[in-house]
Amino acid sequence: MLSTIVFSVLAVIALASGIAVFRVDSMARATYALAVSFVAVGALLLMFDLDYIGVITILMMVMEMAIMAIYMIMFMGMNPALMPMSMVHNKRWSAILAVGTFLLLAGGALLVPWPARSGSPATDLTASLGEAIMGSKMLVMLTVSPILFATIVAALVLANPRGRYDRWGDDLQRARPDDPQQGGLGK
Amino acid sequence: MTDAAGTNPAWALLAPVVLGLLALAAAALNGILVARAEGRTLRSGAAAPVFEVARLMRQRRRTTVAADVLLWRIGCSGLVVVALLKTAVIPVGPWVLADIPVAIVWFNAMDVMVWAVVWLIGWGANSAYSLIGGYRFLAQAVSYELPLMFALVTPAVAAHSLRVSDVIAAQQELWFIVWMPVAFVVFCLSVVAFSSWGPFATAASGDIAGGILTEVSGVDRLLILAGRYALLTTGAAFAVALFLGGGAGPLLPDWLWTLVKTLLLLAAFVVVRHRLPEVRPDRLAEVAWMIVLPVVLLQTLIVSIVVAVRG
C-alpha cells in the first residue's frame, strides 16, 4: 500500500515536471524541471531495489542538466536563454510524435504478457551488475568505449577554436603557450 | 533500503542537531580567526556566528527586479538539504541513518546536487554578478569532480564495497590514509571546493561583489552560509569514515573518536581559508586535468594492484 502511494507520487512528479519542461517560458526552469523529472525516475528505480542504477541516474542527470545550463546560455544566439521564451518549436509534429511514442510504450507495457519471475534476484545487485557488464558483455563494452571515446575526441577537435598548435606553435616548440588569458601550468 | 543493524530512530532526530553544532563550531573558529586577524578579542569572534544568525533572521529580504523567485528559493535552501541528505549515510560510531550498499555513490550524487544548487542561487537573483558567481562554481566543478570521484572510488576498491560500514571495517589493520594519501588529500581539497570555501570560494568572492551572495539577504543568506559550513562538516565526517578509520581509536568510544577526528579535520578546512589565496577556476582547470587527475588515477591503480595481488 505504502509503496503504491510512493510510486504513484513519484510517477506523477516525473510526469508533471516532464510536462512542465514544455510549458514554462524560461530555459533555466525547463532545464531543472527536466532534472526533477529524472530525479523522480531515479527514485523510482530505488524502489525496485536497483540502488546503484537509481543513485547513478540521479547523479548523472543532475550533472548533465547543470552542464546543459552552461551550454544553452553560452551558445544560444542573441542570448534569448536569459529572456522568457517558448520551449517548443515544430509544435504539430512534435505533439504527434510524443503522443505516438507514449501510446506505443504505454500500450506495450500494458499489453505484453509479462513472464513470471524465474529464479531470484542476486543478493548484491551492484556486484552482479558489474559482473554482467564486465563479464559476458565485456566484448561489447570494449568495442563501444573506443568508438565513444573517438567520437568525443573528434567532436572536441572540431569544436575547439584553439588547439595545441595555436598554443605551442606549429612545431610545438614554443617555451610558453600563447594564450589569450594567462594562467594554469607553468606561467 | 535501510539495514536494521545500527539504525536507531532517535538518531534521525539527533543527527541534524550534531551536524548543526559541528557547523556552528566551524563558524565560531572562523570567527575567531577573523577576529585575531583584525585585532579584536577572540571571544567576540567566537560569538560572531550567533549574532550573525540573529541579525539575518530579523533582516528583511532584499528583492530584485524580475528575480526567478521559485528557483532562487530552491537554490538558497538547497545547500542545507544536500548536507542533511549526505548525513544520512555517514556513520557516527554505532549510529547511521541508512547504511545503504551504495552509500559512496550517494555521497557523490549529493555533491553533484551542489552544482545545481549553487548555479540556481546565482541564476535566481537576475543579477549579473550573481550569475557570474554561479558559472564560476560550475567551471570549478568540472575541475574538481573527476578527481573527487576517483578519490571516492579508491577506498571502495580497497574495501570491495561501496558501503561505508564495510570501508570502515576494512581499515581495522591499517587506516586508508596511510596507503592512499593522495586520494585523501584530493578528497579533502574537493570538499573545500564543493563547499565553495577558502581557496575555492571564487563563486562568492569579493572581486565580483560577493558573486552568488551579492543579492541574497535575510534567511536565504543564513541558509547559504550555514549550508557551506554544513557541507564542510559532512565532508570532514565522510573523510573520517573513508580514510581515518571511522571510530577507531584507543580508550574513547567509537562515536567520540568519530566526532574528535571530524572536528580536527573540520578545523583544518576552516584554517585553510586563512592560509591560502583563492584559485581562479580557469587556472584550476589545467592543473586539475593535467596533474591532479593523472596522479589520483595512479593512486587508484596502485591500490587496485595491491588489492588484486593480495587477493
Distance from CA of A140 to the nearest CA of B (A): 23
A interface mutation test: which of B99, B119, B284 has the most A CBs within 10 A? Answer: B119
**Is residue B3 pLDDT above 60, yes or no?**
no
**Is residue B24 pLDDT above 80, yes or no?**
yes
User: How far apart, in whole angstroms, are the C-alpha atoms of residue B147 and residue B173?
Assistant: 26
Give counts: helices (H), strands (E), chain A.
7, 0
Domain that holds residue B72: 9-310
Are B116 and A66 in contact (CB < 8 Å)?
yes
**Least confident stretch, A169-183, B119-133, B221-235, B267-281:** A169-183
**Least confident stretch, A159-163, A166-170, B226-230, B285-289:** A159-163
**Chain A stretch 67-86, residues whose beta carbon is closer than 8 A to a beta carbon of chain B:** 67, 69-70
Residue B2 lies in a domain: no
Task: Look up residue B139 and give its amino acid.
Answer: A
B46 Cβ contact list (under 8 Å, min separation 6)? B28, B31, B32, B35
What pLDDT shows up at residue B266? Answer: 94
CB atoms within 10 A of CB A102: 10
Are B286 and A29 in contact (CB < 8 Å)?
no
What pLDDT shows up at residue B226? Answer: 93
| Mean pLDDT score across all residues of chain A | 83
Residue B242 lies in a domain: yes
Of B109, B115, B142, the CB nearest to A55: B109
Residue B1 lies in a domain: no
Residues linked to residue B92 through DSSP beta bridges, in sequence order: B95
Residue B27 lies in a domain: yes
| Mean pLDDT score across all residues of chain B | 88
Of A49, A63, A69, the CB nearest to B112: A63
Name which of A52, A43, A42, A27 is nearest A130 in CA terms.
A52
The cell numbers describing A134, all together, are 564486465
Q: In angstroms, what is the C-alpha Rg of chain B?
A: 19
What pLDDT shows up at residue B1? Answer: 38
Are B119 and A66 in contact (CB < 8 Å)?
yes
Considering only residues A161 and B229, tell me which one the structure prediction assigns the higher pLDDT.
B229
Measured in whole angstroms, the distance separating CA A172 from the mean position of its chain's CA atoms is: 37
What's the average model confidence in pLDDT over B34-57?
88
A interface mutation test: which of B114, B140, B146, B162 has the most A CBs within 10 A? Answer: B162
Position B4 confidence tier, pLDDT thresholds 50, 70, 90: very low
- Do the interacting molecules here have an ipTM over 0.90? no
Nearest CA in chain A to B149: A59
B205 Cβ contact list (under 8 Å, min separation 6)? B211, B278
Q: What are A77-124's pLDDT values in tens digits? A: 555 556 677 777 788 898 899 899 989 999 999 999 888 888 887 777
Q: Would you say B214 and B130 are in contact if contact means Cβ atoms under 8 Å apart?
A: yes
Residue B46 lies in a domain: yes
> Nearest 5°: phi and psi at B95?
-100, 135
Q: Would you say B211 and B136 are in contact if contact means Cβ atoms under 8 Å apart?
A: yes
Of B1, B162, B286, the CB nearest to A185: B286
Q: Which residues of A touch B74 (CB under 8 A)?
A: 32
The cell numbers describing B67, all together, are 528575480
Of B105, B142, B291, the CB nearest to A59: B105
What pLDDT shows up at residue B150? Answer: 94
Q: Which residues of A touch B71 (CB under 8 A)?
A: 28-29, 32
Q: Looking up cell 531543472, which residue turns up?
A: A32
The phi-psi region of residue B250 (left if phi > 0; otherwise alpha if psi is between -120 and 50; otherwise beta) is: beta
CB-based burial label for A138 (10 Å; 0-12, 13-18, 19+):
exposed
SS3 content of chain B, % helix, strand, coil (to 5): 75, 0, 25
Residue B3 lies in a domain: no
User: How far apart, in whole angstroms, are the C-alpha atoms of residue B184 and residue B176?
Assistant: 8
**Least confident stretch, A66-70, A98-102, B166-170:** A66-70
Position A177 confidence tier, pLDDT thresholds 50, 70, 90: confident
Secondary structure class of A80 (helix, strand, coil): helix
CB-based burial label for A143 (10 Å; 0-12, 13-18, 19+):
exposed
Are A62 and B115 in contact (CB < 8 Å)?
yes
Q: Would you say B168 and B91 are in contact if contact means Cβ atoms under 8 Å apart?
A: yes
What pLDDT shows up at residue A76? Answer: 64
> Nearest 5°: phi and psi at A99?
-65, -45
Provide the number of structural domains found in chain B: 1
Name which of B211, B84, B88, B51 is nearest B138 in CA terms.
B211
Are A183 and B283 in contact (CB < 8 Å)?
yes
- H or E stretch at A66: helix A51-75
Nearest CA in chain B to A48: B1
| Measured torsion, CA atoms of residues B117, B277, B210, B285, in degrees rounded to the nearest 10 | -40
Nearest CA in chain B to A27: B123
CB atoms within 10 A of CB B294: 11
Nearest CA in chain A to B135: A70
pTM for this prediction:
0.84
Name which of B164, B144, B147 is nearest B155 in CA terms.
B164
If you count residue pairs, one on A and one on B, with CB atoms under 8 Å apart, how many are there? Answer: 74
Position B2 confidence tier, pLDDT thresholds 50, 70, 90: very low
Residues linked to residue B95 through DSSP beta bridges, in sequence order: B92
Residue B4 lies in a domain: no
